[in-house]
Amino acid sequence: MIQVIKNKSTEVCIIGICGEEGSGKTTLAKAVYHQVHSTFTYKSFIEDIAEVSQTRGLVGLQEQLLSDVLKTKIKLHSVQMGISMIRERLSGKRMLIVLDGTNEYDPIGLWNSHVWFGKGTVMIITTREEGLLRIPEVDSVLLIELLNTNESLELLSWHAFREAKPREEYNDLAKRVVACCGGLPLTLEVIGSSLFERPKEEWKSILLELEKIPKHDVYQKLKISFQVLRNEMEKNLFLDVCYFFVGKGRTYVTQILNGCGVDADSGIRILIERSLIQVKRNNKLGIQPLLQKMGKEIVVEILERRLRNNTQLRFRLDENYVVSDNTVRTFFLFGFETSFGSVCFLMCNIFVFLSSFHHSRQKSFRYCLVNSF
């Protein structure tokens, strides 16, 4: 990729990276970005565009791009205003732009901008959809290949042992785990981190679960990393981050959770060690999209199970109250917004306990809460 960029140093260069979820597209884009960014005055790395677009809309994407490149806070009132300002303020500038995780054609309106980009501009696009990159504007497409056996074993070892090779007594177990992970970097990283400092008995237990899962069922493999967390506090904390705290500052999240009686500092540190969450620039919490999707599906499973098993709390899940990214906060089981922030999943059991003692008022309270959003 770097050689392609050098060969087109006097032109506009658009490079696409394509591969399945968890294959390392974002990691590769970051590696290239960090090697070449010092030669660019104007630059922007927009990570997980699909998620940003869903939560903040196209205007949010445009604001982030303009704010990064111009190094000042930009506020837009419409997509059209963003298109006009991008064309006006960025025209002729030599830029380095990374659009990571897009699932639609040209979400910001940049791909066909060769005519007004400054010479030497580089744009890197990562996506799962190879078809999005088969257009004349994209100069080069890199298809991510999964890791071979030796590479997989090394990656697993770095996370499970903090060394390049497995310890001798774990060698056979490590090779069997690698065979179950299918060369997918995310699975190797997360499973390897889950095995860190675990005795051989626990390795065998986790391996037994892995071998039951079909080869291409990545979701169930990743779910093991959640199931083997040490306690309910760590599990609930992971679910909180998935739904409420992605993109929030670590200090802010710690204050909120400590106020709920949770040892947030220790819990967040454990989740980082287990490769389940990350700390990104500006000390904000992040999570790999596939892991976030897993966490949200676990929340839905828990909600449905509790509704089935508790007749006092059961109510009809009609189409108006489907658990989704935008509506989960409306469910009384999983929290609500207050003036100081999110009261989150960890408060669920307290609410369930209290509501069981107020059964006579429960229906009207639940109706008012759900319908107040």
Mean per-residue pLDDT, 32-43: 94
Q: What pTM was computed for the model?
A: 0.75
Q: Please check whether residues 154 and 115 belong to one and the same domain.
A: no
Residues 122, 184: one domain?
no
Residues 125 and 165 in one domain: no
Q: Based on the fold, state whether residues 290 and 313 are members of the same structural domain.
A: yes
Q: Is the pLDDT of residue 224 over 70?
A: yes
- pLDDT tens digits for 291-305? 998 998 888 888 777
What is the domain extent for residue 22?
Answer: 2-143
Reported as a single tens digit per residue, the pLDDT across 112-125 is 666 788 999 999 99
Query: Quick one: 136 and 207 in the same domain?
Result: no
Residue 15's pLDDT is: 93
| Whether residue 18 is found in the same domain as residue 134 | yes
Check residue 18 and give its pLDDT: 94
Q: How would you classify residue 92: left for phi > 0, otherwise alpha for psi between -120 and 50, otherwise beta?
A: left
What does the block give as tokens for 11? 């032109």
pLDDT at residue 163, rounded to an integer: 95
Structural domain tally of the chain? 3
Of 128, 143, 158, the residue at which a domain comes to its end is 143
Q: Does residue 354 carry a pLDDT above 50?
A: no
User: Residues 201, 241: one domain?
Assistant: no
Q: Which of 181, 204, 227 is the last residue of a domain?
A: 227
CB 336 within 8 A of CB 343: yes
**pLDDT band, very low/low/confident/very high, at 310 (cuts 50, 70, 90):** low
Q: Are 247 and 360 part of one and the same domain? A: yes
State phi, psi for 157 to the nearest 5 degrees.
Answer: -65, -40
Angstrom CA distances, 88 to 7, 82, 98, 282, 349, stand at 28, 10, 20, 29, 53
Here the CATH number for the domain that contains residue 6 is: 3.40.50.300
Give 364's pLDDT tier (boundaries 50, 70, 90).
very low
Q: What is the mean pLDDT of residues 342-369?
A: 40
Predicted confidence (pLDDT) per residue in 230-277, tens digit: 898 899 899 989 888 888 899 999 988 888 778 889 999 999 999 999
At 110 the pLDDT is: 77
Q: Is residue 95 domain-shared with residue 44, that is, in the same domain?
A: yes
- Looking at the structure, tell me whether residues 15 and 120 fall in a common domain: yes
Question: Over the stretch 43-57, which tens digit does the pLDDT of each residue have?
Answer: 999 988 877 787 788
The residue from 192, 227, 262 where one domain ends is 227
For residues 249 and 366, membership in a common domain is answered with yes
Looking at every residue in the chain, the average pLDDT score rounds to 82
> Are 12 and 122 in the same domain?
yes
Sequence-distant (6+) residues with CB within 8 A of 72 are: none
